[in-house]
Structure 1
Amino acid sequence: MVTASPMQITVLRGRDEERRAIRRLLAGPTDAGAALVLHGEPGSGRSALVGYAHRHARKFALLASTGLADEASLPYAGLQRLLDPVLDCAGELPAFDSRLLRRALAGSGCPPERQLALGLAVLRLLAVVARSRPLLCTMDDVDLGDRPTAEVLAFAARRLRRLPIAVVLTATSAPPGGLPSYRLGPLDESDGAALLADRLPEPPVGPVTEALVAAAGGNPQALVDLAGTLTAAQCRGDEPPPTTPPADGALGRAYRSRLDRLPDDTRGMLLLAALDEDGAPETLVRAARAGGDSIADLTPAERAGLVRVEAHRITFPHPVARSAVVTAAPIAERRAAHVRLAGVLDDPAQRLARALHLAAAAAGPDPALAGELEAAAVTVGGARASVALERAAELGDDPARVAERRVDAARYAWAAGETRRAQLLLSRVPTGPVAPSGTGPAGPGRGGAVPGPAAPPAGGRADLLRGEVELRCGRTPAALRALLAAADVLAGTDRPAALSALARAGEALCFSGAQYRYADLARRARVLARRARVLTRPGDPPEVELTGTYLAGVSATLRGDLEQAGPALRRVVVLTGQLTGAALTPALLCWAASAGLLVAVDGAAHRLAERAVELARERKELSALPRALELRAIAEYWLGRHAAAADSSREGLRIARATGQANVAAVHLGMLAVLAAVRADRDVCLRRLSEIGDGPAPYSRPWALAQWAVAVLDLTDGRHAAAAARLAALARPGTGRGQVLVQVMATPHLVEAAQLSHRPVAVAALALFDRWASSTASPSRRALSARCHALLAPRGSDEAEERFRTALRLHPVDTGVFERARTALLFGRELRRARRPRDARTHLHDAWETFTLLAAGAWADQATAELRAAGESVGAPDPAAARLLTGQQLRIAQLVAEGATNREVAARMFLSTRTVDHHLRNIFHRLGVRSRTELARALP
């Protein structure tokens, strides 16, 4: 276990405004008093801020106390503890004030008509204490102690204008009126991460930090409690982190101590409120009446900060508070409360809630109640349906039905983003065959109705879900095994689900870079076809035809049969228009979007991915969102919408991390790194690459994206040979190993790097890219193909110029403007190298204007440098030293000043080393310098 640091943490995270208010309070004029109230739920940092005030009150005398619930029934008990150290000064008060104050603090109380006099006596006593030195008076948890003390202190705090006294009060409930107050809200993610870093010897990895902050609800004490339970493996992300703060932590103990002091009637009513998770006040009112109680019994719990009663909602300040109320009640009381709540939930819309309460009160198996839970669950879906089906499984007595319900519960949990819970439910499903006991309601994504009396085997559906979860969150080999096993088991009873398993298996192969194994997948598809007579057949529902056609199209694509692949994949895109209702799922839309990308219909692919995102949100299928957002980002990349692609990937990364989908999160990080590298944003690219780390296996998709990003940085920095080697190693098209599809996307960068490094490593990749581009109707792909051939054509040749002009003509004017500007830059550079500076400037100006409009600063700088080398100045005039140089000389001088060798400068500027030497001698002469070091100093 990772042990939290035993040293006192004095840095308060996320409380900047409150700390500033305390410092202002203590730094004010010595003859002008003031007060403030800090209020918030237990664990929010109120006591820590009082300690902060004490540490910063070095010039102040200090009176400090805390409200005690044990003394809440003793009038002025808190005031007596606060003033006890200075009661000797009461002799300096007028005799009446002294007697009144001493009587009240001795337990004799104060008549109502003397309350004003008592308040003034307390104020005068504080003024006497503050004569020689300013005074800080604090009362923590003032609302937990006796009410008369809170009223007197608030009275005095409102009357400090001309006294050297500062008062700081803290409370859980609403603060006293008439005083400046600060509500302590939850910490945000960055402050939560900083707090964890303070408490742990090694800060947790990013996804773990996000999960812990979410589990704590931003409560500082809950975060501290969670940090105390974190194991080293959980801190590294090797094991799932805790999802709730420990019940025996400091926050849990704080809530239980408040609960223990409440009247029995209040605790009973609080238990009803805690068990009714819907939080509807009318439900609680009816349940209270049914037991002869009143909702007014909750008033002491409100004052104690255990519950909030609002007009339309009853809420608890933190899940730990609800948990403390439930766990503190004996089991008999909990069952009775569940029965009482079930008795008042008679609306059809409350069917599931009623069944859950009855199930919670059940003492043993109850098949009838289990059936009611199952029937009610499928009407609501989501995480609640998962809970209901899990309880239905516990109440059942038929092993087959129990297994089916657990699989459905896991499916709903997975869809709701509760990955760990889905995995735990699946672990309780037998891996062997379980004889089906009949049909039952289908879980989400179960594939629709199944002909005949037998339901699909629970084991097969469990393997299908296990495979999907592993594909997104865990080990790809395990995912592949589970998915292929599911396809075999489901082939005879649920062909749509079997096809879905094969399509997921194909995703696993593509993710891991083992596309060559698609042959085995195709063989299994043929086996399935023989079992079902045909893989797809006339009269099949569109969703079945779509999945089968998608499998055939992807398989043909990966074996290079583009003539067969194109029509199949276009058919997949068309079939989505025939899907309606429950048949249309985010998974089918994602496969259709993937098909659209493979045949380069980027607009259609983007619309399909966008529809998948919308549908997943509508149905609250969080687990489907990261993959849909990944496909949307890829479509936006091809459409030239780099900023939109980055937004999609950032959202996908956030949701993938929140749902534990580590594999998809790594893909989004890789895509973000590529997008940053393409725009020459080195810092962002390197940060994203560091987040990926060295976890992805070689040839996996995250690994390939990371390699692509690094190669683009290499290309930008002039390391052309390294970039070419890195991109050429992404895949081996002849063998089907590696990330062929990623390499196809990266081919334009590979060709550019290969041409600059004079290496023939791009020939095979460009041949594949050409075949693909020519098989599509995409002008942007053909434009990129023409640009690649222009780069590989002989320098200064008519062929190069013709290819560049073809590329510029094919680039769409409304999309892909970034790539068009890149083509213009490369064409301008080619013309300048061919000693045609006037022709070059036209294209270089176009490139510079586009890059400037896109805020692509690094690329605009490259266009500027090329324009200067072509004899034209762009932008503001250079400082004095730089004005002595020509544009080409200035660029050479800048590269040398950055540390480039003459050979590297020659490679970057397409010059011979001898030419660079010649220019460098002239530069030294013009600037009057004798070394590279002096040159670097001479340049601005």
Structure 2
Amino acid sequence: MALNLYDRTAGTVTDRASQLLDAAERARRGGRTRRALALAAAARGAAGDDAPLRARAELLRGLLLLGDGPVADAHETLLLAAESAAPYDAEGTQHALAAAAEAAWAAGDFTAYLQTVQRCAAGPADETPPTGRAAAPGSAPAPWSVFRAGMRHVVLGDFAGAAGELRPLLTAAAHLQQPDDLLLAGRAALVLGDITAARRLLGRGLAAAGTRGASGPADRILEFLAYAELRAGYHQQARAHAEEGLRAARRLGRRNLAAQHHALLALVFSLVGTDSATEHHADAALSVARPHGLVQVSTLAEWARARADLGHGRAEQAASRLAPLLRPGPRRGHFGLWMLAVPCLVEATVLAGLDEDVTDMVELYAGWAALGADPQAPALLTRCRALTARDEDCDALYLRALAEHEAAEGQFEHARTLLSYGMWLRRRRRPLEARRRLRAALVGFERCGAVLWEKRTRSELRAAGDSAARDDLGALGRLTPQQQSVAGLVASGATNREVATRLSLSPRTVDHHLRNIFSRLGVRSRVELALMMNGGGTGQGDGVREQGGGGREPAGGGADGGE
């Protein structure tokens, strides 16, 4: 029998307010944001003079707005919740402050973020963490407390101080079990530029969330895991995790988080060369980011568009997109992302032959690289210097950049430096050296699935006189490792469901991969794919594929066959 939450005979005012809050929390977990907001408002009204209940209602409202609403409103609501809860609930106060910091970060409000993390860090280190797990007497500070203290140093540009705060968290990460703690440890590793550790910790966190059925932490873990894989150049893995995170965010009714995953997917597709997908995800991200004030999401989406422009050789358009995001002014992007996009702006401006002087941006990036926050930054800085240097200095600078890449993870950026060097060599009429660098760049782009940049590199190779740089390469050479696995199994006669079971994928994901394989190889059926994979040509015919009993099926939609 359903409980009538508005029945005055059901109990005291406090009981009714608590019941309303419980119902609101259930609605939030079920993805019914509007219902949850209405129930939270009713609970706040029913709480009367009960300050702790009113604080709980404010906290819940702030969390709902953080997931699906203007994040500036979420920030103010959560600060109010923290002030209201302070005399009664240390856990609720810190939870509200931590969420308020996330809202300020999403909004790109540097001052608000700094002030909030300072308040977070001001609390006693042994207070109960937001997850509700009390710290043992004499134990180390809770991971969330360490993370907030480290982030205060980060936004102040003190990466030595940040490392001092955050390194112990990475050291202790082997003993962490809770998904929330592993998420914070993974984020700390990202801040310190340890991408390998970040991927490992976030992967553990995702596994722990799955074991515990904790959908809440999982969607945030997927966000940062996808970002870490992008940083490392593992674009197909980033895509898989961002797509999974997008599904989770939609299921939970968190449009702001869904927008973040759309922006990450736009970044992925800006490299793999699918313009329509880049635009789709960028538009989807911006449709939420603009009304909700998600400056971080807006910056990522615009950066993705600029990277797609650069990959296609539209350098002037890329520079036009990036300049307002990175230079001071009302359209400047998120403070945490400015430096990451500077190498793209420098390259686009130079390749476009614009008169604009980017020396100031190179020197700004030099200051960032000196902080030691990003292991790839030294190589990217040297590449920027090579792009803007006099001809007599370029050779040495490019060679130094390549040596610096060897000391840092990030195969995509390494390949971009090889491409840039090869282009420079070709334009200086040094074709033999140019082809050597361009071939190495092509291998790098193939390994990380950056199809758009593969095409650009092949074009440069042809211009450098490489007769082997045709588009009719061997089948496997044109596929990503995941696509190679799918294609090999399909060519051997496996159905999509059988492939999904063998590769631990969903049938829908296999279908998606197979459609991309057909498009990339220029085949229209599973039979043509098998012929190509087995060296028998494409078998171009009437566009049909054979069925088990000798029947024939149209090739249209052939990627989902065999089910």
TM-score (structure 1 length as normaliser): 0.45
Shift of residue 415, structure 1, vs aligned partner: 3.7
Partner of 2:152: 555
Partner of 1:403: 17
Q: How does 1:75-94 map to 2 (within 5 A)?
A: none
Partner of 1:807: 401
User: Which of the residues 800, 807, 826 maps onto 2:420?
Assistant: 826
Output the CA distance in 1 between the equivalents of 2:301 and 2:171.
34
User: Which of the residues 207, 215, 230 maps onto 1:622?
Assistant: 215
Shift of residue 604, structure 1, vs aligned partner: 2.0
Q: Is 1:570 the equivalent of 2:164?
A: no
Output the CA distance in 1 between the equivalents of 2:115 and 2:423.
48
- The one-letter code matched in structure 1 to 2:112 is R
Contact 2:425 2:433 in 1 (8 A): yes
Shift in alpha-carbon separation, 1:463–1:737, aligned structure 2, 3 A:
farther
Q: Secondary structure in 1 aligned to 2:376?
A: helix
TM-score (structure 2 length as normaliser): 0.72
Q: How does 1:431-442 map to 2 (within 5 A)?
A: none
Output the CA distance in 2 between the equivalents of 1:696 and 1:506.
18
Contact 2:375 2:408 in 1 (8 A): no
Contact 2:97 2:116 in 1 (8 A): yes
Partner of 1:508: 103
Partner of 1:430: 44
User: Which of the residues 360, 363, 379 maps onto 1:783?
Assistant: 379
Segments of structure 2 that go 5 or more residues without pairing to the other structure are 128-134, 473-563
Output the CA distance in 2 between the equivalents of 1:655 and 1:522.
28
Output the CA distance in 2 between the equivalents of 1:569 and 1:779.
16
Output the CA distance in 1 between the equivalents of 2:428 and 2:249.
50
Output the CA distance in 2 between the equivalents of 1:687 and 1:475.
22
Shift in alpha-carbon separation, 1:426–1:541, aligned structure 2, 3 A:
farther
Shift of residue 416, structure 1, vs aligned partner: 4.8
- The one-letter code matched in structure 2 to 1:716 is G
Partner of 1:847: 441
Partner of 2:232: 639
Partner of 1:466: 61
Output the CA distance in 2 between the equivalents of 1:835 and 1:777.
38
- The one-letter code matched in structure 2 to 1:549 is V
Q: How does 1:670-749 map to 2 (within 5 A)?
A: 670-692=263-285, 694-697=287-290, 700-731=295-326, 738-749=333-344
Shift of residue 681, structure 1, vs aligned partner: 2.3
Shift of residue 826, structure 1, vs aligned partner: 0.8
Partner of 1:659: 252
CA deviation vs aligned residue, 1:309-336 (integer Å, no higher than 9, x gap): xxxxxxxxxxxxxxxxxxxxxxxxxxxx
CA deviation vs aligned residue, 1:765-802 (integer Å, no higher than 9, x gap): 544544444433754333223322222222x233x323
Q: How does 1:313-352 map to 2 (within 5 A)?
A: none
Q: How does 1:353-372 map to 2 (within 5 A)?
A: 360=1
Shift of residue 688, structure 1, vs aligned partner: 1.9
- The one-letter code matched in structure 2 to 1:726 is R
Output the CA distance in 2 between the equivalents of 1:738 and 1:431.
39
**Aligned residues with identical type, % of pairs:** 33
CA deviation vs aligned residue, 1:838-887 (integer Å, no higher than 9, x gap): 22221111112333455544322322222233233224599xxxxxxxxx
- The one-letter code matched in structure 2 to 1:397 is G
Partner of 1:146: none
Output the CA distance in 2 between the equivalents of 1:425 and 1:593.
35
Shift of residue 577, structure 1, vs aligned partner: 4.5
Q: Secondary structure in 1 aligned to 2:44?
A: coil
Aligned residues: 464
Shift in alpha-carbon separation, 1:877–1:778, aligned structure 2, 3 A:
closer
Determine which structure has more spread, i.e. the larger CA radius of gyration: 1
User: Which of the residues 457, 464, 474 maps onto 1:863?
Assistant: 457
Shift in alpha-carbon separation, 1:648–1:827, aligned structure 2, 3 A:
same
CA deviation vs aligned residue, 1:129-157 (integer Å, no higher than 9, x gap): xxxxxxxxxxxxxxxxxxxxxxxxxxxxx
Q: Is 1:590 the equivalent of 2:171?
A: no
Output the CA distance in 1 between the equivalents of 2:229 and 2:9.
49
Shift in alpha-carbon separation, 1:546–1:765, aligned structure 2, 3 A:
farther
Q: How does 1:754-793 map to 2 (within 5 A)?
A: 754-757=349-352, 758=354, 762-763=358-359, 765-776=361-372, 779-793=375-389
Partner of 2:261: 668
Partner of 1:605: 198
- The one-letter code matched in structure 2 to 1:749 is C
- The one-letter code matched in structure 1 to 2:381 is S
Shift in alpha-carbon separation, 1:619–1:399, aligned structure 2, 3 A:
farther
Output the CA distance in 2 between the equivalents of 1:666 and 1:877.
35
- The one-letter code matched in structure 2 to 1:554 is M
Shift of residue 708, structure 1, vs aligned partner: 0.7
Contact 1:724 1:761 in 2 (8 A): no
Shift of residue 685, structure 1, vs aligned partner: 0.9
Q: How does 1:182-197 map to 2 (within 5 A)?
A: none
Output the CA distance in 2 between the equivalents of 1:855 and 1:574.
33
Q: How does 1:470-549 map to 2 (within 5 A)?
A: 470-522=65-117, 524-525=119-120, 542=140, 545-549=142-146
Contact 1:416 1:621 in 2 (8 A): no
Output the CA distance in 1 between the equivalents of 2:367 and 2:186.
21
- The one-letter code matched in structure 1 to 2:99 is R
CA deviation vs aligned residue, 1:570-628 (integer Å, no higher than 9, x gap): 34444545545xxx353x43333222211111122223322333333333333433322
CA deviation vs aligned residue, 1:897-936 (integer Å, no higher than 9, x gap): xxxxxxxxxxxxxxxxxxxxxxxxxxxxxxxxxxxxxxxx
Shift in alpha-carbon separation, 1:401–1:572, aligned structure 2, 3 A:
farther
Contact 1:415 1:624 in 2 (8 A): no
CA deviation vs aligned residue, 1:661-689 (integer Å, no higher than 9, x gap): 11111111111111111233222212223
Shift of residue 700, structure 1, vs aligned partner: 1.3
Shift in alpha-carbon separation, 1:573–1:833, aligned structure 2, 3 A:
same
Shift of residue 407, structure 1, vs aligned partner: 3.0
Contact 1:744 1:765 in 2 (8 A): no
Q: Secondary structure in 2 aligned to 1:797?
A: helix
Output the CA distance in 1 between the equivalents of 2:363 and 2:10.
61
Output the CA distance in 2 between the equivalents of 1:877 and 1:635.
31
**Pairwise CA RMSD:** 3.7
CA deviation vs aligned residue, 1:404-443 (integer Å, no higher than 9, x gap): 444344335434545444334322211697666xxxxxxx
Q: Secondary structure in 2 aligned to 1:741?
A: coil
CA deviation vs aligned residue, 1:72-104 (integer Å, no higher than 9, x gap): xxxxxxxxxxxxxxxxxxxxxxxxxxxxxxxxx
- The one-letter code matched in structure 2 to 1:603 is T
Segments of structure 1 that go 5 or more residues without pairing to the other structure are 1-359, 365-389, 437-455, 879-940
Output the CA distance in 2 between the equivalents of 1:764 and 1:461.
49
- The one-letter code matched in structure 2 to 1:782 is P
Contact 1:829 1:840 in 2 (8 A): yes
Contact 1:844 1:863 in 2 (8 A): yes
